[in-house]
Amino acid sequence: MAPKSKSKSSTATAKTNGAQAAEAIPHQWPSLTPRLAAEDLTLDTMLPDQIVTVSNLMTPTLCAKYVNFLRSLPLTTTPTTPQKGYAVRVNDRYQVQDPTFAAALWEQTALKDLVTQHGKTTGSSDTWGGEVLGLSSNIRIYRYAPGHFFGAHYDDFNNVHFTDSLDPSKSSIPAVTTWTLLLYLSTCEGGETVFHPEPASKKAPTPKPVSVAPEMGMALLHRHGRECMLHEGKEVTGGEKWVIRSDLCRPVARDGGNPAYHFSSSYDLTPSYGIILLISYVRSASENMLEPAASVIQTALPER
C-alpha cells in the first residue's frame, strides 16, 4: 500500500488525463484478431483485491503482429537520471492518447467480459474500485532490452475525462483510474514484475514477494493509487519485453450524503523517498459541482 505518513507539505495541482505529454496522433493499429473468447480464458487471482492475471488474452500470432507494428513507432529511451522522487527506470517507451484503440482493446478482446464476470462472481463492483467504464485512452508502449529495468515504485491514479469512442454524441464522463493493465507481448529472460506486500502489522513478519514472469499474451492487472503495493520490474537478461500499458477507469463517485470525499495516491516512488498526492473533491454550495484541491506531502519510506 502506498505510504501514508505525513510531514512537510506544499501546494500542487492534480494530474489530468494521465499524461499531458502524450501524443494525440491516431495510429492504424493492427486488428485484434485472432482472439480467444472469454469462456476459453480464466482470470486468475494471485493476491486477492491486488493482483490478477489472464493468460493468452492475446494469441502468439497477434502478439507477433503487434511487436512488428510497435517497432515502427518512435520510441524514446527514458533519462538515466529521473526526477526527484521518481523511481529509476531504463527502457524505451512511447505514449499516445488514443480513445479508439483503448476502446478496441477493451471491447474486441475478452478483457471486458472477464473483468465484468469477475465482478459478478465476487458479488461486488468494488473489486475494481467501482463500475468499470473501460480503459484509459492514455496508451503507453514499453520495450525492455537486456539491461533494462524499472526500480521499486508505486503507480499513481489519474483523473481522466472518459469518452465513449463508440458513441461520440455522449458527453465525456469525469473518471479516475483504479487498476494498472500490463499486456505482455513477448516472453523474455528476467523482467519479472515483483510485488512487495506489507506486513499486516508492525509485529507481523514481512510477506514473501509476489513475482509475475512475463508471458506472451498475458494480461496483468494490479491495483494502483492509495492501495498500490510497492513493485518493481526486474532487469531483463535475455530477449526483449514488450508491454502495452493502460488502466481501468471508473466514474468519479458522487457521495450524495457527504459533501466531500477523498482520493489519495502516490507517484512513482523510490523505496527511500516518496510523494503522496492527496486530492479532495469539495462540493461548491453555489455551483453544485465538484472542485479539486490538492496538496503534495513528502514522506520518508523505509529502505527495502
Q: Quick one: pLDDT band at residue 4, thresholds 50, 70, 90?
A: low
Helical spans, DSSP H, in the chain? 60-70, 99-107, 111-122
User: Alpha-carbon torsion 94, 25, 267, 206, what sign?
Assistant: negative
**Exposure string over 34-65, b if 16+ CB within 10 A, otherwise e:** ebbebeebebeeeeeebbbbbebbbbeebbeb
Residue 125 pLDDT class (50, 70, 90 cuts) = low
Q: Which of 268, 189, 196, 166 is nearest to 236 (CA)?
A: 189
- Is a pLDDT exceeding 90 seen at residue 107? yes
Cell representation of residue 28: 492504424
Calculate Rg over the CA atoms of the chain.
19
Sorted by sequence, the CB contacts under 8 Å of residue 262 that are 6+ apart come out as 278, 279, 280, 281
pLDDT at 215: 98
Q: What confidence tens digit (pLDDT) does each residue in 137-195 have? A: 999 999 999 999 999 999 999 999 998 776 767 788 999 999 999 999 999 999 999 99
List of domains in the chain: 44-74+87-199+213-251 (2.60.120.620)
Cell 490478477 maps to which residue?
52
- Residue 163: predicted pLDDT: 85
Residue pLDDT, tens place only, 263-292: 333 334 444 333 333 333 333 232 333 333
